[in-house]
Structure 1
Amino acid sequence: MGIPSYHAIAAMVVTVAMFVAFARGRMSVEIVSLLTIAVIAVGLYFFPLEGTAPTDGLALAFSGFGHYALITICALMIMGRGLVVTGALEPAARLLEKVFKINGQLGLLVSLLVAMILSMGVNDTPVLVLLLPIFMALANRSGMPASKTLIPINAAVLIGGMATTIGTSTNILVVSIAVDLGMRQMGVFDYTGIVLVAAVVALPYLWLVMPRLLGDNRITNQHEMRRFVTRLRITENSILNGRELAEVVRRLPEGIEFDEVPAGLMRANQRLTMSGTHEAIEEAARILRGDTAPSWVLERIRRTSEEKRIDIAVVEMTVTADSRLIGRTLPGSGIADLYGVAVIGMHRPKRLVGEKDRYSVGGDMRISEGDVLLVMGLPDDLQNFAQADSLLILEGMRELPRRSKAVLAGVIMIGSVALASVGLPFYGSEGFYLLKVPIAISALAGSILMFVTGCVKFDRVGRALSGKVIVLVAASIAIGRIVLESGAADWLGLVIASGLQHLSPAAVLAAIMLFVTFLTNFASNATAATVGTPIAFSIANQLGLPPEPLVLAVLFGCNLCYATPIAYQTNMLIMSEGSYQFGDYIRTGVPLVIIMVVTLSAALVFTYGL
């Protein structure tokens, strides 16, 4: 076995140092990642690997920035952004929201089961890409915070993907290497039962314990939520036209209240005084298909938005002491004529949530200093209005979903997922068959289509990408390569093999699984599969054990990538969305790894009679 090379020792030291720096959290993820890349680059330049030039070390250190995995993650983030800004996932989010409202724990359990089942037949990454925006939308709709749901959902996806040979590309790689070494070809569901047993044991932890180990990342307001009052005009195509308000009120968001409701059936052009929070008013107006401002200005805003291809935004503005609006009524202020924006609601300070008294936004209601206006329009027009009439913008502009492109964005996403999971119909010498497209290609094609069709604006792509994730991916790829090419992975494998001679079969399986789990959490799934599978075969021959359970121990270990964000690309996808720190993965992932290793090892021993 001997002593490892100094390159292998250095690779292990850098890996441990990066892990410790991430875990301590004193420096940001970006700084630690960039320092790791810099150390590898400088070290390999002055002390290159055997048979390589100094510049080859630089190429290795910075290879992550051009790696297909990083391009894939960025493309997936862009497609996810397309689903969000078009509102394509709002129906699914509302449906899931209803389940969560019945019972939050029931909603999470249903979500975990759906994630597991989907990932058995579809690659892990597309499944998470589909679910991620739904849970972000759910969090924005006052459901469970994203930080308490995304890590459990991601873990459920990874467990489901472990259950079949087609669940992940890593599974296929392990099985392929094993076949080349002489093992029989495994079927799609040969070991599904073993994983399902482990899933049943792990599910209570994912469902009941893991969310409690995670904090709430939602920004809590230090003030009471503002309630805005608006005058809703019933249009010809409104669902209220010809019906009583009581028939539809249950379909409206929580907190929406009405004053002075006329008796009998509602008719077109009638007005209702409605109050609620910013988001609730927008949702109620959408459901009721009514106008919260003069229809001519709303139509002009929509028409100009389509002509100029500029998104409509909604912003909250407060009236300052210098504003010309003080003492004026909204109808007499000329806001719509002067600036082309629509005031869709008004909030008056000191009137907090839950109070019963109301006031009208029209008629003789005069604007006072400190009133907050809810204003809709194009960004430039909103800025001109705020500057010209001395208004202070309280909330950053929130763009309204481009619902006209929601179906298109959904089709693009489903098409990209289908190409990667099901395949593209192709005719060859053997007739028709399904040609699977790598997720990197299908995701890149989907993101390009999102740009071309206008689902995602090119100048807004920065909002979809996370700099933290980008440098973290690049650093993890560099670490994975140096661990493999320096010989550190091979040396660790030999150490493990030499220490297993006197252990029971169950302990051997657990040790192999833990070793591969360590590799996959600090290097990559491919590295763990490439290194671990031949080692498992060698150990089986030395100890006189059947190779299949040991190979499955490697396959399972490659999928136990819960303990670090750099272990798998789905871990990185949720990192910025859930506002997670490195320690969140360690705190929740290590117990899950222990549960899965113990359960899977016992199930393998029982199944194969070891």
Structure 2
Amino acid sequence: MTALPSFHAIAAMAVTIAMFIAFARGRLSTEIVSLLTIAVIAVGLYFFPLEGTKPTDGLTLAFSGFGHYALITICALMIMGRGLVVTGALEPAARFLEGVFKINLQLGLLVSLLIAFFLSMAVNDTPVLVLLLPIFVALANKGAMPASKTLIPLNAAVLIGGMATTIGTSTNILVVSIAVDLGMPPMGVFHYTPIVLIAALVALPYLWLVMPRLLGDNRVESEDTVRRFYSRLRIGSDSDLVGKDIAAILPKLPKGIRFENAPEGVIQQEQQLSLSGTHQDLEDVMRVLQGEMAPTWVTDRIHRRSVETRQDINVVEMTVTADSRLIGRSLPTSGIADLYGVAVLGIHRPERLLGEKRQYSGGGDLRIIEGDVLLVMGLPEDLREFARSDSLLVLDGARELPRRSKAVLAGGIMFGAIATASVGIPFYGSEGFYLLKMPIAISALAGAILMFLTGCVKFDRVGRALSAKVIVLVAASIAIGRIILESGAAEWLGQLMSMGLQHLPAAAVLAAIMLFVTLLTNFASNATAATVGTPIAFSIAAQLGLPPEPLILAVLFGCNLCYATPIAYQTNMLIMAEGSYEFKDYIRTGVPLVILMVTTLSILLVMSYGM
């Protein structure tokens, strides 16, 4: 008969359940629930400290998450991801996947899921997601599937792939190491890979076809509200497209691009093409056609000043007000470039005003009227001066142009951080040369610092890379994990479970162990689940006369089934801000996947080990 849990264990389980209910109901924001959870733990342990501890030790436990290596790792990974975005380092990979998505959205998602799965088998799953995350956010901005419909399936594919090898996640290594300490023989890298591959085949249709349908669309603007800018593209004399037929170029352009005066024949040197499209469409056209949408001398001066002053180039949208001196003028006669050193890339005319002035025919002859929206490129100070002097209203949605000169550098830093964490760096010691693996926390932090030192990420812009919601959620989850472990709640649950498994068939025993560990990993942490679950599984195997290896694998698999809550694993938190996810999104999509994987893996373990 198992003794009743201690007062602290009961309280720890109650706080965990209350936090889960508060997250699931969604009436309070994630930040508020997280901070309340930390406060309850801090106050409770101050007045009712754990046995053998002081009141101040409880405060240390409650707030330890804010200085925990897991939080530092997540923040560092966010910063490195920001560096890849602002330098445009991932544009080649994004263009490849964009091409696949253009063929078919479902095909694009399937290819992406397979890439994520197989990459995470060989590389630690966190760096894999960090690499893919900004690519899919960029793809969503370019008209592919919204990030909210792709990031959770992508994260699940990464986690399943990481489960397939002993080096896929740090938790796998931890479980295998504890099992060896308990007397089991060591497992090879691909010891149980076939089991996971079969389970992945079962899970893939759910990730690909069902999960996106369970998630909402987080895009703020619909296609009807996106502004269309009219512009004139100037083909440079050094463009590779000079002499090529325009019809051959059209398939490479974004679908939203529309030529106002359809060009005929081959592209000529210094030819000007009148077209319209969204801000993103115009950027893509400039890249594909190697042209400029403003006089070259203006854009060259802006880029030169950006290098000299070490300021980012911004592109902003400005509305022409009734007091503006620009009303009635065309762009060539406005003197904007000479006066302010900024470049107008295009003009948007609201639908309600198109009837007042003729449709734009492409070029500088368009007379600016009140209500027009200008797409303007320049340095921040010059843009502010232009808006102030010419009575323009700056709209939301300012964007920084990628610092492409540092793209290779940012990519190299990210590759180095991933390589040192997953493969290792050559090191010479007493036993000769060998590969020394760095903890992901160290390699990620070093990579983030290098991003700052090299200027890939500006220090004053770091706030854009971080999410307050994720930070307090990580801190709260770490506090919950520690109190569950140190109060004895995890140990009591394990003892209770072992008593109830005596008369169950082998498949049910494996499923129960896997579900127990899954519960721990989704509400505490992977490390807690591995540390608590592995010895319990080994003990249960001895008590029930079962082979220990399948039970240890049930623990390992359960530690990786962390789909049902955002606090279960750091990659879940990394996608939370970018996907605009709520706690209930993880529950809605993750619980069915957990049930599917537990059932499949339990059956496969029984079949593989002849139980």
With the shorter chain as reference, the TM-score category is over 0.9
Cα drift, residue 548 of structure 1: 0.8
Partners of 2:233 and 2:135 in 1: how far apart?
29
After superposition, the Cα gap between the structure-2 partners of 1:67 and 1:598, relative to the gap in structure 1 and judged at 3 Å, is: same
Query: What runs of 5+ residues in structure 1 fail to find an aligned partner?
Result: none
The 5 Å alignment of 1:455-534 reads: 455-534=456-535
Q: Match of 1:274, SS?
A: strand
Counterparts in 2 of 1:362 and 1:201: CA distance versus 1, 3 Å: closer
Letter in 2 for 1:242: G
Shift in Å at residue 351 of structure 1? 7.6
Cα distance change on mapping 1:419 and 1:41 into 2, 3 Å: same
Counterpart residue type for residue 563 of structure 1:
A
Q: Distance in 1 between matches of 2:579 and 2:393?
A: 30
Describe the shift of the 1:262–1:219 C-alpha distance in structure 2 as closer, same or farther (beyond 3 A).
closer
Instruction: For 2:160 and 2:147, locate their aligned partners in 1 and report how far apart those are by CA, in whole Å.
Output: 20
Cα deviation, residue 392, structure 1: 1.5
More deviation, 34-43/383-392: 383-392
Query: What amino acid is the match of 1:531?
Result: V
* Residues 275, 362 of structure 2: 8 Å contact kept: no
- What TM-score do the two structures reach when normalised by structure 1? 0.97
Q: Which amino acid aligns with 1:574?
A: I
Aligned match of 1:283: 284
CA deviation profile, 1:484-503 (whole Å, cap 9, x unmatched): 00000000000001111111
What SS does the corresponding residue of 1:314 show, helix, strand or coil?
A: strand
| Deviates most, 592-601 or 386-395 | 386-395
| SS in structure 2 at match of 1:432 | strand
Partner of 1:98: helix, strand, or coil? helix
SS of the aligned residue for 1:440 comes to: helix
**Deviation per residue, 1:403-437 (Å, 9 max, x gap):** 11111111111111011000010111111111101
Structure 1 residues 352 and 600: CA distance shift in structure 2, 3 A: farther
Show the counterpart of 1:228.
229
Letter in 1 for 2:202: V
Provide closer, same or farther for how the CA distance between residues 363 and 602 of structure 1 changes in structure 2, counting only shifts above 3 A: closer
Judge conservation of contact 1:231–1:360 (CA < 8 Å) in 2: no
Change (3 A) 1:265 1:142: closer
Aligned to 2:233, what secondary structure does the other structure show?
strand
Aligned residue identity for 2:84: L
Cross-structure match for 1:242: 243
- What is the percentage of aligned positions where both structures have the same residue? 78
Query: 2:376 is paired with a residue of what secondary structure?
Result: strand
Return the alpha-carbon distance in structure 1 between the equivalents of residues 244 and 511 of structure 2: 66
Tell me what 1:297 maps to. 298
Report the AA paired with residue 46 of structure 2. Y
Q: Partners in 1 of 2:60 and 2:480 — Cα distance?
A: 13
- 1:259–1:358 Cα contact (<8 Å) kept: no
Alignment match, 1:401: 402
Alignment of 1:187-226 (within 5 A): 187-221=188-222, 223-226=224-227
- Counterpart of 1:201, as a letter, is V
Query: 255-264 vs 508-517, which deviates more?
Result: 255-264
Give CA-to-partner distance per residue, 1:126-181, whole Å, 9 cap, x none. 11111111111111111001111111111111111111111111111111111111
1:581 aligns with 2:582: yes
Cα distance in 2 for residues equivalent to 1:155 and 1:93: 20
For 1:443 and 1:516, locate their aligned partners in 2 and report how far apart those are by CA, in whole Å: 28
Structure 1 match to 2:431: 430
Report SS of the residue matched to 2:234: strand
Q: Report if aligned partners of 2:260, 2:362 keep a CA contact under 8 Å in 1.
A: no
Counterpart residue identity of residue 98, structure 2: E
Number of the residue aligned with 2:609: 608
In structure 2, what is the Cα distance between the partners aligned to 1:537 and 1:23? 34
Most deviating of 246-255 and 529-538: 246-255
CA–CA separation in structure 1 for the residues paired with 2:305 and 2:478: 46
Per-residue deviation, residues 336-372 of structure 1 (Å, max 9, x unmatched): 111111111112222899xxx8524645432111222
Cα 1:578–1:263 shift into 2, 3 Å: closer
Partners of 1:217 and 1:263 lie apart in 2 by 40
CA gap of 1:462–1:548, structure 2 versus 1, over 3 A, is same
Q: SS at 1:3's partner residue?
A: coil
Aligned pairs for 1:121-160 (under 5 A) are 121-160=122-161
Distance in 2, Cα, partners of 1:352 & 1:313: 27
Cα distance in 2 for partners of 1:37, 1:525 equals: 20
> 2:261 touches 2:275 (CA, 8 Å); kept in 1?
no
Provide the C-alpha distance between the structure 2 equivalents of 1:393 and 1:549, rounded to a whole number of angstroms.
62
Give the Å deviation of 1:506.
1.0
SS at match of 2:99: helix
Q: Which residue of 1 aligns with 2:333?
A: 332
Normalising to structure 2: TM-score of the pair?
0.97
TM-fit CA distance, 1:264: 4.4
Secondary structure of 1:366 counterpart: coil
CA contact (8 A) 2:246 2:264 kept: no
CA distance in 2, matches of 1:23, 1:233: 54
Partner of 1:90: 91
**Given that residues 329 and 367 in structure 2 are in contact (C-alpha distance below 8 angstroms), is that contact kept between their aligned partners in structure 1?**
yes
Using the alignment, how far apart are the partners of 1:507 and 1:536 within structure 2? Answer: 13
Secondary structure of 2:351's aligned partner: coil
Secondary structure at 1:316's aligned position in 2?
strand
**2:416 is the counterpart of 1:415:** yes
Report how far residue 241 of structure 1 moved: 2.4
Q: Which moved more, 1:8-17 or 1:231-240?
A: 231-240
Distance apart, 1:118 and its partner CA: 0.9
Deviation at 1:268, TM superposition (A): 2.6
Q: Find out whether 1:7 has 2:17 as its counterpart.
A: no
* Residue matched to 2:443: 442
Change (3 A) 1:368 1:159: same
* C-alpha contact (below 8 Å) 2:120/2:159 kept by paired residues: yes
Instruction: Name which of structure 1's ranges 65-74 and 393-402 shifts more when overlaid on structure 2.
Output: 393-402
Partner amino acid for 1:392?
A: L
- 2:171 is matched with which residue? 170
Is the deviation greater in 385-394 or in 52-61? 385-394
Unaligned runs of 5+ in 2: none
Following superposition, the deviation at residue 259 of structure 1 comes to 4.1
For 1:230-379, list aligned pairs within 5 A.
230-260=231-261, 263-350=264-351, 358-360=359-361, 362-379=363-380
Deviates more, 1:344-353 or 1:556-565: 344-353
Q: Is the Cα contact below 8 Å between 1:112 and 1:153 reproduced in 2? A: yes
**Distance of 1:523 and 1:140 partners within structure 2:** 34
What RMSD, in angstroms, separates the aligned Cα atoms of the two structures? 1.5
TM-fit CA distance, 1:240? 3.2
Shift of 1:249: 2.6
The aligned residue for residue 569 of structure 2 is 568
Q: Matches of 1:224 and 1:384 in 2, distance apart?
A: 28
Aligned-partner residue type, residue 23 of structure 1:
A
Q: Distance in 1 between matches of 2:261 and 2:281?
A: 19
Task: Determine if contact 1:331/1:362 at 8 Å carries over to the other structure.
Answer: no
Cα 1:261–1:532 shift into 2, 3 Å: closer
Q: How does 1:11-26 map to 2 (within 5 A)?
A: 11-26=12-27
Q: Deviation of residue 299 (structure 1)?
A: 1.0
Alpha-carbon separation, structure 2, partners of 1:447 and 1:97: 28
How far did 1:396 drift? 2.7
**C-alpha distance in 2 between matches for 1:320 and 1:423:** 58
Give the Cα separation in 2 of the matches to 1:49 and 1:266: 77
Q: CA deviation at 1:208?
A: 0.8
* Structure 1: distance between partners of 2:264 and 2:502: 85
Post-superposition offset of 1:223: 5.0
For 2:175 and 2:366, how far apart are their aligned partners in 1? Answer: 72
User: Which residue identity lines up with residue 366 of structure 1 in the other structure?
Assistant: R
